[in-house]
């Protein structure tokens, strides 16, 4: 039994965009391993957020890993722009287009880590035949589009299934939506190792609270062994 490292990825969707640089520095100093960037197009999801310009703007502010979650369709035409902007991982949705394998190849061709996100209604089995082309699986535990939604309990079983599919491969298993100190332990036990947290970190937008909240999430999860 060895412990699986727990990594916390605050989602800047819940940051104060008027002070975005300060918000990023605060979560970086506060111990976040990964900066999660939610990109929405008002078409694949019913909300519009940010594009490559913001990724370029935050890239010089932090040396932490930038994890770009593309909730856009089509995704492929925009992969080079996010790669150039400084993304480390680029995640596309399995539901965003008919050619997932091509999207993953396009991400790796840019020299970036390739992620696939699956919506609550999408089975883990869609990943079976592209598992060798994936660096990260993102299990959506809310319907994508907004921060601050409640965790969908059925996601736990999907995390277990995704962990089983991953087997011994070096693939990150990320969970996104409604992650709190109350449920993070169960999620870690199910096999997740990368935890997106929007509201749980940024609620109130007081940078002096972020380090404590990130530590609280990590502590709540990290008693887990695998
Ligand atoms: C939802 C986004 C999430 C969201 C998480 O579409 O993908 O990353 O910001 O926010 P919380 O943690 O508040 O559910
Ligand atoms: Zn996200």
**CATH code for the domain of 112:** 3.20.20.70
Number of CB atoms found within 10 A of residue 58's CB: 23
Ligand 1 and 13: CB distance under 6 A: yes
Asked, for residue 41, whether it belongs to a domain, the answer is: yes
For residue 167, tell me if it sits in a domain: yes
Q: Which string of DSSP letters, residue by residue, matches 130-172?
A: GGGG-SEEEEESS-TT-SSPPP-TTHHHHHHHHHHHHTTS--E
Instruction: Using pLDDT thresholds of 50, 70 and 90, give the confidence band for residue 4.
Output: confident
Pick the closest to residue 40 from 79, 83, 70 (CA basis).
70
- 81 lies in some domain: yes
Catalytic residue among 38, 67, 135, 193: 38
- For residue 94, pLDDT over 60 is answered with yes
Instruction: Please name the residues in contact with 77: beta carbons below 8 A apart, sequence gap of 6 or more.
Output: none
For residue 35, is it within any domain?
yes
Pocket test for ligand 1, best of 8, 9, 11, 93 (most atoms within 8 A of CB): 11
- Would you state the pLDDT for residue 3? 65
User: Would the pLDDT of 226 be above 60?
Assistant: no
CA 114, CA 103: separation in Å to the nearest integer?
A: 9
pTM for this prediction: 0.97
155 CB less than 6 Å from ligand 1? no
Distance CA 29, CA 48 (A): 28
- Give the mean model confidence (pLDDT) for residues 146-156: 98
Residue 68: per-residue pLDDT: 99
Tokens standing for residue 116: 């696939």
pLDDT tens digits, 171-212: 999 999 999 999 999 999 999 999 999 999 999 999 999 999
pLDDT reported for residue 225? 53
Q: Tell me the average pLDDT across 52-56.
A: 98
Q: How many whole angstroms separate alpha carbon 26 and alpha carbon 97?
A: 36
45-55: average pLDDT: 98
Q: Is residue 218 part of a domain?
A: yes
> What is the tens place of the pLDDT at every residue in 106-148?
999 999 999 999 999 999 999 999 999 999 999 999 999 999 9
135 is catalytic: no
With a 6 A CB cut-off, is 38 part of the ligand 1 pocket?
Answer: yes
pLDDT at 2: 42
How is 52-84 classified by DSSP, letter by letter? HHHHHHHGGG--SEEEEEEE-SS-GGGHHHHHH
pLDDT for residue 1: 35
pLDDT (mean) for 72-95: 98
Q: Is the CB of 89 under 6 A from ligand 1?
A: no
Active site residue: 41, 67, 135, 176, which one?
Answer: 176
Does 222 sit in the ligand 1 pocket, CB within 6 Å?
A: no
Q: Is residue 2 part of a domain?
A: no
Q: Report, as an integer, the average pLDDT of 77-99.
A: 98
Is 176 noted as a catalytic residue in this protein? yes
Residue 104: domain span: 7-225
The answer to whether residues 41 and 71 touch, using CB atoms and an 8 Å cutoff, is yes
Ligand with minimal distance to 49 CA: 1
Domain count, the chain: 1
**pLDDT for the residue 170:** 97
Give burial (CB, 10 Å; 0-12/13-18/19+) of 70.
Answer: buried
Look over the chain and give the mean of its residue pLDDT values, rounded to a whole number: 96
Tell me whether residue 1 is in a domain. Answer: no
Tokens of 174: 């990320």
């Amino acid at each position: 039994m060895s412990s699986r490292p727990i990594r916390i990825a605050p989602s800047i969707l819940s940051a104060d965009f008027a002070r975005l640089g300060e918000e990023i520095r605060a979560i970086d100093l506060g111990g976040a391993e990964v900066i999660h960037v939610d990109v929405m197009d008002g078409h694949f999801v019913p909300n519009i957020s940010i594009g490559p310009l913001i990724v370029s703007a935050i890239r010089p502010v932090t040396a932490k890993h930038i994890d770009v979650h593309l909730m856009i369709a089509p995704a492929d035409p925009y992969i080079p722009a996010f790669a150039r902007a400084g993304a480390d991982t680029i995640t596309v949705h399995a539901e965003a287009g008919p050619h997932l394998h091509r999207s993953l190849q396009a991400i790796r061709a840019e020299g970036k880590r390739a992620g696939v996100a699956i919506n609550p209604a999408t089975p883990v089995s869609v990943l079976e035949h592209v598992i060798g082309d994936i660096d990260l699986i993102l299990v959506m535990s809310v319907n994508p589009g907004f921060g601050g939604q409640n965790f969908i309990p059925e996601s736990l079983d999907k995390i277990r299934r995704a962990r089983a599919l991953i087997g011994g491969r070096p693939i990150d298993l990320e969970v996104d939506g409604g992650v709190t100190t109350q449920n993070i332990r169960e999620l870690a036990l199910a096999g997740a190792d990368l935890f997106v947290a929007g509201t749980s970190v940024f609620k109130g937008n007081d940078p002096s609270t972020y380090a404590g909240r990130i530590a609280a999430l990590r502590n709540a999860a990290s008693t887990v062994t695998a």
